[in-house]
Structure 1
Amino acid sequence: METIQSRTTQGRVADAPSGHWVYRALPRWLWPYAQLARWDRPIGWWLLLWPCWWSAALAAVSFAAPGEPLTTLLPPPSHIVLFLIGAIAMRGAGCTYNDLVDQGIDMKVERTRSRPLPSGQVTRHQAWAFLVIQALAGLAVLLQFNDFAILLGISSLVVVAAYPFMKRITNWPQFVLGLAFSWGALMGWAAAFADLDPPALLLYCGSILWVIGYDTIYAHQDKEDDAIVGVRSTARLFGDNTKYWLVGLYGGALVLFALAYAAAEAPMPALAGLVAAGAHMARQIAVLDIDDPDQCLRLFKSNSVVGWLIFLGLIGGGVWMAVKPLL
């Protein structure tokens, strides 16, 4: 408790990463807002971003013919940048909203009681104002896409708004998180085609399983405190059977991703990234110790590697199709 209090006094939450640019570059009065948005923990927006980039890359290589210009076989750079900005803004808004909803719970959990709201570093009015600013930034990004994608993006807010309450009423809040964090798998395709087709829907379903898997690993950090305060999670539900569930979840995700590739007639080399991602997922399961919170956090963060492998595989597939006639 002394450690938590001392770090809170310095303006940092108990589990804040040391040496992050947030604490070197930003003035101290901005630290609580950076912590509300989790700018010091980029893994969250990376995990929100990956389905967007996957979907955009899959749309670019779908039904591709050998020898097409490389520029048509890669996702538009503007979409890549817009999804990046949107993921950072909306992940920050979502975390701020989650902290507003969970303030009472966070006060009872060792890892979270020193966050800006429960520790009193910001007021609820200030947090709401910050949430609105971030949401407006996300809206500005969304308005750059076609009308179908705009409506699709707005519709995701229903799931986002419901998620923080799910841990109180179901053992499967990670499923609802999957619905929200996988929405980008629909958005990338919609931004390209102003429609939704089987490849995007299969990619979305696969991403949901992936999210449930990695967030189950993450939730094992707090399972003791969660049991005390009555917070539900798949970590508590799966318990000692977590590894078996992860085999099913990660395995199902890979199968659905492969079906999405097949439905889009993606180039075969794209599967190399999927195979590499599967190997990384298998390693997570093999080494996982659900009673080691530090390791759970590391394995959770390592899912950004999965994101890179799948994305680069799709990019490689596009490059392959462009140069294939020359080989």
Structure 2
Amino acid sequence: MVFKQTLQKKSKRASWIDTNLPETFRPYAHLARLDKPIGSWLLAWPAFWSVALVTDDFGSLPKMLAIFGWWAIWIRGAGCTINDYFDRDFDKKVERTKSRPLASGALSPAQGLCWLAIQLFMGLGILYQLNMLTLVLAILHVPLVFAYPLMKRITYWPQAFLGVMISWGAFLGPAALEGTIDPKIACPLYVASFFWTLVYDTIYAHQDKEDDAKAGVKSTALRFGDLTKQWVSAFAIATIIALALSGYNANISWPYYIFLAIGAGQLTWQIWTVNLSSPADCGRKFVSNQWFGAIIFAGVILGKLFA
């Protein structure tokens, strides 16, 4: 899942964390997955899309992107930390995760919780310069971040709950820029991100399906089985339709729809070429979703410029 490590095997090359940070700080950086930015990108893209869709002042865009980028890095790190805190005993039994800081004992559970509090402060603190609606929405988002790691113990649809949580940025952008939320734009954008999450995180979950089945951990990868590609194809179609509706309601111009078609091609490529029996290929396809997010963002910017 998105708050786990991305690849099945650790890279043979040392992470920049291990080569550039003091030894004391390395376990904390690894716990936050600071060397694996894909999770931060996936949390940030809905916020970036929403900011670009509603802004009429491109001069303010870099500042808003920086604010929500910072928010995404630290809140994603908090999500990784609470995930590893809950999973520390299970992670010890899995080759891919046994070296994580809490599972390996590099950090104690108490140290992990202290680091969690610091990350929440870093992520939410930057939003104090925005309006109260944005801050309240961001605070309401935190319980979803905490609850997500528990869903795989309860339901075969933890990816759906991840979609509920990770798509929250669709509401933060308009709240920050306008002090209100236009549901005709924000709601379809949120729905699009929700279904997109079901696509990429179902593919991701196929990396761990054997270990998950043995441990009694649930996922859509186990729920869908051999029908996974049919299911995620339907989710991809829903993603594109919802993105089109959000753009239409925002009165965005024709370049957006060209890039939306390119994005649809990217989703089609990853779904129909992924080898669901290869953890490495599932990891690569999962990471490729950072480019889907970038394609849609570029389409929004050009669609606004040509409006």
TM-score range for the pair, normalised by the shorter chain length: over 0.9
Question: Which letter does structure 1 place at the counterpart of 2:299?
Answer: G
Structure 1 residue 14, shift from structure 2 partner: 6.4
Question: Which letter does structure 2 place at the counterpart of 1:47?
Answer: L
Q: State how far apart, in whole Å, the 1-side matches of 2:207 and 2:124 are.
A: 33
Q: State how far apart, in whole Å, the 1-side matches of 2:218 and 2:289 are.
A: 23
Contact 1:108 1:229 in 2 (8 A): no
Is 1:247–2:233 an aligned residue pair?
yes
Structure 2: gaps of 5 or more residues: 1-7
Q: Map Cα deviations across residues 141-198 of structure 1 (whole Å, 9 max, x no partner).
A: 1212111111111111121121111000100000111111110111111111111222
Aligned counterpart, 2:281: 295
Contact 2:9 2:280 in 1 (8 A): no
Q: Map Cα deviations across residues 268-320 of structure 1 (whole Å, 9 max, x no partner).
A: 21122211111100001110111010000000000000011000111112222
Question: Which letter does structure 2 place at the counterpart of 1:98?
Answer: N
Q: Percent identity?
A: 43
Question: Which letter does structure 2 place at the counterpart of 1:240?
Answer: D
**Rg larger for:** 1
Distance 1:189 1:136, change over 3 A: same
Q: 1:143 aligns with which of 119, 128, 135?
A: 128
SS in 1 for 2:156: coil
1:65-84 alignment, distance < 5 Å: 72-73=57-58, 76-84=61-69
Question: Which letter does structure 2 place at the counterpart of 1:59?
Answer: V
Q: State how far apart, in whole Å, the 2-side matches of 1:243 and 1:171 are.
A: 17
Structure 1 residue 258, shift from structure 2 partner: 0.4
Q: State how far apart, in whole Å, the 1-side matches of 2:271 and 2:60 are.
A: 32
Structure 1: gaps of 5 or more residues: 1-12, 62-71, 322-327
Please, what TM-score do these two structures have when normalized by structure 1? 0.88
Aligned counterpart, 2:191: 205
Is 1:129–2:114 an aligned residue pair?
yes
Q: State how far apart, in whole Å, the 2-side matches of 1:35 and 1:162 are.
A: 21
1:1-327 alignment, distance < 5 Å: 15=10, 18-60=13-55, 72-73=57-58, 76-197=61-182, 198-321=184-307
SS in 2 for 1:168: coil
Q: Which contiguous aligned blocks of 4+ residues in structure 1 show a shift greater than 6 angstroms?
A: none
Contact 2:127 2:135 in 1 (8 A): yes
Contact 1:269 1:313 in 2 (8 A): yes
Question: Which letter does structure 1 place at the counterpart of 2:139?
Answer: I
Contact 1:60 1:74 in 2 (8 A): no
- Which moved further from structure 2: 184-193 or 74-83? 74-83
Question: How many pairs align?
Answer: 299
Q: State how far apart, in whole Å, the 2-side matches of 1:188 and 1:74 are.
A: 15
Structure 1 residue 125, shift from structure 2 partner: 1.1
